């Protein structure tokens, strides 16, 4: 082993250190420590002449370790590491003793402070003895991006990246992109038509030369790490040749079997072979295999007979597509809370209790009722109650606020007033109208004569107590402003269900090795300062999969995630920090505890030449050291925070 | 005879408690000079071996301090540290060391006064408890 030659430099920092610590005494003492060949003190080590002292000594005295005792390493460690590097010494062979923040600034007594400074210098000299040269590595990256989920968030992110002329694979599990936004009628508070602003973007996705759209497809496996992910996608069989299908819709017309349309929230019907909605992208038909008479009973094939393009293919099979991408954006959206779970609201039991999304389809001009508001019996309602916070802000279901319901409830009130003569009752806990133009819209709806009752609805019932309640649904609540129980008889009740995490969010989180919050939504890396990144480098999140939000926030977040993905791409390579976990394979027993404890999924037990050992993915490891603590054999260690380095410091600090 | 001055080793996570001690310096918040800080990247990185090594070497007290759960740079380091610490406490008790000698704290960057306060408390308590029995034994052997 080469002889260790350490240079120690004690900084005066003007009088900041020298005023309290006898720096000359510390330098003299440092010169007596093992392996120290030179020890100097200087007024300002961070100054150019100060750094020159170090560089000259490295060159002239052949130093292979350097210690500076000065301010906090959080301040000038990069400065002195660079000085070492400039003189040809690996920057990780440098160590800093913090004798300013942790010593001269917090103690008065010169003798005590000087003794402490000596201890800190001794510990740094001991630690640097065990330091090893480390290399920052780089590896090439794949510039392609995978976007998972084709709602407005995924559409926006895909377009932002593709417009930068990078390849985007957009994977959507449903037959068409568009997501929930395609189902909405008008958007608050501007009341512009949702489809009108969404469909041009959908068309752009469909035609973009840099976007490969994989609709009706699901992710099966994700391997690798930032810069180099390998993704396996199952493209489900539509039993229709996408290349041949013209989207004419004749097959759906001729299909003798009609079922409830998911897009129309069950208010309308679709064929068993169907195009989910008129502006679907891709505009091709899909056979619902579970309900197709041919697949169930072996005969029918009506669609095949009428298809001029000969696009129907009953023999079609699922196709496996392997993708290679460098970063991933998850925009998997939300589910709506099942309003039937709150049985006292009578959803599913009373005909005229609807959810918000069902009502959206009703008011949509292109929807199943042609934009007319009807009760089940065909009458127009004379009174409507809108119940807020169904499953939100409720400790029995979700404690969080779903953020969009107050505003769309106001929109419904406005539309009901516009389309009917009905009385409208908003039954709310608090009105939360915080966005651009929201408060103004709230005022406008107030002025339109909508009734606001501040109280959480306890129950919806059809048991009338008075003549006026006969044949009505009665929403019962405590009006907390009046302090009394109110009974509001209405013809129609609209429930505003919570936005909740997708039912498959747990599986998706596992697939992409990201974490979820207690509320089930995907967790960001830092709630304030890194809101679209995740614990896994190169995997970003945007839109409602991260938590309930409205369209403007979703689009902003999608663009933020796109910018993050683009910043990974534009660097052109992946930089791998050297201060991460390392496995001593000779000691490893492949117990897998490292794999269990790691939040970043960096260590994995693999089979290497027939021997099972743990292996660390350098691009995933953050160097936190949890794996080294639980490793029972000492096989796992963290570079630059090794047992020798830390125990060495502890020993040096206590041995006098 | 001079008053007993306990020696304390503080393992401080780079992102929170080490930074809090830095800011204590910048703000000139004074505290007893009995503590020596060892910088670690995460409180979850503190191996029980380090703590036992400190006691073996005659430390009178050891502090393991890092971020609060929500601030963790590595997501869940404090939770892992807590799990380690619970086991460590039992080991330290078995060795016959008093509870006051081992302390776990969560001190964020903004809590430098708390850092100073914790050191003051530890020094005060350790002065009452007296020198580490290990140190006494070692000195007797020497």
pLDDT in tens, A466-523: 999 999 999 999 999 999 999 999 999 999 999 999 999 999 998 998 888 889 999 9
Please give the Cα distance from A406 to A648 (Å, whole number). 61
Number of domains into which chain A is organized: 5
Residue A639 confidence (pLDDT): 97
In a domain, A91, yes or no: yes
Residue A514 confidence (pLDDT): 86
Residue A9 has pLDDT above 80, yes or no: yes
Please give the Cα distance from A268 to A281 (Å, whole number). 20
Using an 8 Å CB-CB cutoff, list chain A residues near B30: 106-108
Residue B109 confidence (pLDDT): 87
Residue A475 confidence (pLDDT): 98
Query: Which single residue is written with the structure tokens 């597509």?
Result: A321
Contact flag B25-A119 (C-beta cutoff 8 Å): no
In a domain, B3, yes or no: no
Interface of B with A in 35-54 (CB under 8 A): 36-42, 44-50, 53-54
Residue A107 has pLDDT above 60, yes or no: yes
Same domain flag for A472 and A459 = yes
Q: Which of A481, A500, A519 is the last residue of a domain?
A: A500
Give the nearest chain B residue to A596 (CA atoms). B80
DSSP string, A483-540: TEEEEEEESEEEEEEPEEE-TTHHHHHHHTT--B-TTSSBPPSBTTTBTTB-SSTTEE
Residue B140 has pLDDT above 90, yes or no: no
Query: Which domain, by its residues, includes A308?
Result: 237-317
Residue A2: pLDDT band (50, 70, 90) is confident
Question: Over the stretch A631-649, which tens digit does the pLDDT of each residue have?
Answer: 999 999 999 999 999 999 9
Same domain flag for A413 and A382 = yes
Number of domains into which chain B is organized: 1
Q: What is the mean pLDDT of residues A296-314?
A: 95
Question: Over the stretch A334-375, which tens digit does the pLDDT of each residue have?
Answer: 999 999 999 999 999 999 999 999 999 999 999 999 999 999
Where on the phi/psi map is residue B24: left (φ > 0), alpha (ψ -120 to 50), or beta? alpha
Contact flag A653-B40 (C-beta cutoff 8 Å): no
Residue B1: pLDDT band (50, 70, 90) is low
Same domain flag for A176 and A323 = yes
In a domain, A95, yes or no: yes
Please give the Cα distance from A30 to A10 (Å, whole number). 9
In a domain, A644, yes or no: no
Q: What is the mean pLDDT of residues A582-592?
A: 96
Same domain flag for A542 and A463 = no
For the entire predicted model, the pTM comes to 0.81
Contact flag B77-A641 (C-beta cutoff 8 Å): no
The fraction of chain A above a pLDDT of 70, given in percent, is 100
The CA–CA distances, whole Å, from A400 to A153, A218, A371, A505, A584 equal: 21, 29, 32, 17, 46
Among B49, B58, B75, whose Cβ lies nearest the Cβ of A535? B75
Same domain flag for A524 and A551 = yes
In a domain, A454, yes or no: yes
Residue A131 has pLDDT above 70, yes or no: yes
Using an 8 Å CB-CB cutoff, list chain A residues near B33: 103, 106-107, 109, 112-113, 115-116
* A125, A652 contact by CB (below 8 A): yes
The CA–CA distances, whole Å, from A611 to A139, A492, A588, A605, A606 equal: 27, 68, 10, 10, 8
Average pLDDT of chain B, as a whole number: 93
Contact flag B39-A73 (C-beta cutoff 8 Å): yes
In a domain, A243, yes or no: yes
Q: What is the mean pLDDT of residues A327-331?
A: 98
Same domain flag for A362 and A485 = yes
Residue A39: pLDDT band (50, 70, 90) is very high
Please give the Cα distance from A155 to A149 (Å, whole number). 8
CATH, residue A616: 3.30.70.20
Residue B70 has pLDDT above 80, yes or no: no
Lowest mean pLDDT among A30-39, A239-248, A420-429, A528-537: A528-537
Residue B3 confidence (pLDDT): 87
Q: What is the mean pLDDT of residues B85-96?
A: 94
CATH, residue B31: 3.40.50
Q: Which of A447, A480, A500 is the last residue of a domain?
A: A500
Helix ranges (H only) for chain B are 17-26, 48-56, 77-94, 112-129, 133-141
Which residue from A236, A232, A212, A235 is spatially nearest to A222, judged by alpha carbons?
A232
CB contact set of A151 (below 8 Å; sequence gap of 6+): A177, A178, A179, A180, A181, A331, A333, A543, A544, A554
Which residue from A133, A136, A13, A134 is spatially nearest to A72, judged by alpha carbons?
A13
The fraction of chain B above a pLDDT of 70, given in percent, is 99
In a domain, A193, yes or no: yes
Residue B71 has pLDDT above 80, yes or no: no
CATH, residue A393: 3.50.50.60
Q: What is the mean pLDDT of residues B85-106?
A: 95
Using an 8 Å CB-CB cutoff, list chain A residues near B76: 599
């Amino acid at each position: 082993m080469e002889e260790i030659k350490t240079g120690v430099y004690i900084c005066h920092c003007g009088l900041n250190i020298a005023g309290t610590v006898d720096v000359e005494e510390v330098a003299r003492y440092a010169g007596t420590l093992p392996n120290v060949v030179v020890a100097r003190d200087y007024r300002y080590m961070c100054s150019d002449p100060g750094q020159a002292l170090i560089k000259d000594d490295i060159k002239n005295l052949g130093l292979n370790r350097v210690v500076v005792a000065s301010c906090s390493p959080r301040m000038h460690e990069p400065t002195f590491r660079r000085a070492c590097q400039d003189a040809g010494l690996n920057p990780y062979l440098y160590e800093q003793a913090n004798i300013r923040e942790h010593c001269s600034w917090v103690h008065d007594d010169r003798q005590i402070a000087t003794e402490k400074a000596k201890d800190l210098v001794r510990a740094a000299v001991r630690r640097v003895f065990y330091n090893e040269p480390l290399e920052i590595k780089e590896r090439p990256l794949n510039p392609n991006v995978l976007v998972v989920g084709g709602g407005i968030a995924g559409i926006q992110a895909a377009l932002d990246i593709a417009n930068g002329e990078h390849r985007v694979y957009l994977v959507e599990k449903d037959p068409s992109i568009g997501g929930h936004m395609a189902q909405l009628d008008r958007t608050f508070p501007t009341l512009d038509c949702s489809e009108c602003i969404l469909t041009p973007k959908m068309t752009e996705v469909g035609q973009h030369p840099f976007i490969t759209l994989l609709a009706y497809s699901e992710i099966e496996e994700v391997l690798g790490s930032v810069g180099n992910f390998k993704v396996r996608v199952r493209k489900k069989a539509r039993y229709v040749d996408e290349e041949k299908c013209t989207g004419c819709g004749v097959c759906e017309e001729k299909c003798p079997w009609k079922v409830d349309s998911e897009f129309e929230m069950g208010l309308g019907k679709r064929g068993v072979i169907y195009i989910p909605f008129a502006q679907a992208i891709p505009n091709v038909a899909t056979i619902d295999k579970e309900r197709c008479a041919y697949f169930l009973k072996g005969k029918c094939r009506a669609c095949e007979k009428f298809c001029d393009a000969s696009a129907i293919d009953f023999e079609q099979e699922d196709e496996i597509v392997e993708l290679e991408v460098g970063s991933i954006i998850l925009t998997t959206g939300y589910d709506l809370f099942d309003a039937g779970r709150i049985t006292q609201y009578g959803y599913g039991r009373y005909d005229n209790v609807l959810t918000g999304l069902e009502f959206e389809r009703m008011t949509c001009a292109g929807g199943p009722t042609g934009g007319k508001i009807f009760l089940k019996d065909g009458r127009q309602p004379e009174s409507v109650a809108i119940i807020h916070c169904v499953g939100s802000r409720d400790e029995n279901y979700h404690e969080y606020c779903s953020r969009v319901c107050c505003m769309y409830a106001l929109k419904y009130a406005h539309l009901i007033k516009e389309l009917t003569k009905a009385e409208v009752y908003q039954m709310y806990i608090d009105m939360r109208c915080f966005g651009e133009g929201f408060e103004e819209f709230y005022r406008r709806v107030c002025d339109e004569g909508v009734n606001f009752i501040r109280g959480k609805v306890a129950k919806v019932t059809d048991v009338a107590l008075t003549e006026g309640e006969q044949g009505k649904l009665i929403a019962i609540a405590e009006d907390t402003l009046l302090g009394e129980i109110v009974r509001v008889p209405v013809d129609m009740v609209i429930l505003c269900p919570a936005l909740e995490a997708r039912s498959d969010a747990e599986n998706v989180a596992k697939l992409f090795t990201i974490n979820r919050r207690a509320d089930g939504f995907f967790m960001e890396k830092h709630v304030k300062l890194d809101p679209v990144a995740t614990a896994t480098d190169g995997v970003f999140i945007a839109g409602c999969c991260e938590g309930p939000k409205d369209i403007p926030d979703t689009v902003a977040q999608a663009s933020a995630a796109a910018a993050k993905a683009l910043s990974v791409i534009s660097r052109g390579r992946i930089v791998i920090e050297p201060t991460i976990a390392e496995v001593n394979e000779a000691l490893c027993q492949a117990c897998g505890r490292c794999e269990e404890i790691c939040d970043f999924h960096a260590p994995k037990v693999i089979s290497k030449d027939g021997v099972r050992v743990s292996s660390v993915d350098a691009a995933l490891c953050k160097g936190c050291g949890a794996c080294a603590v639980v490793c029972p054999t000492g096989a796992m260690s963290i570079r630059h925070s090794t047992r020798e380095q830390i125990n060495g410091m502890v020993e040096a600090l206590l041995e006098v | 005879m001079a008053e007993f001055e306990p020696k304390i080793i503080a393992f401080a996570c780079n992102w929170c408690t080490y930074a809090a001690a830095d800011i204590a310096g910048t703000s000139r918040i004074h505290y007893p000079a009995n503590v020596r800080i060892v910088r670690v990247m995460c409180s979850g990185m503190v191996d029980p071996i380090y703590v036992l090594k400190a006691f073996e070497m005659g430390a009178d007290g050891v502090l393991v301090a890092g971020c609060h759960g929500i601030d963790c740079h590595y997501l869940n380091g404090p939770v892992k540290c807590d799990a380690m610490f619970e086991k460590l406490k039992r080991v330290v008790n078995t060795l016959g060391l008093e509870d006051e000698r081992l302390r776990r704290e969560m001190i964020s960057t903004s809590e430098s006064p708390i850092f100073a306060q914790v050191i003051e408390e530890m020094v005060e308590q350790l002065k009452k408890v007296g020198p580490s029995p290990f140190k006494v034994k070692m000195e007797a052997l020497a």
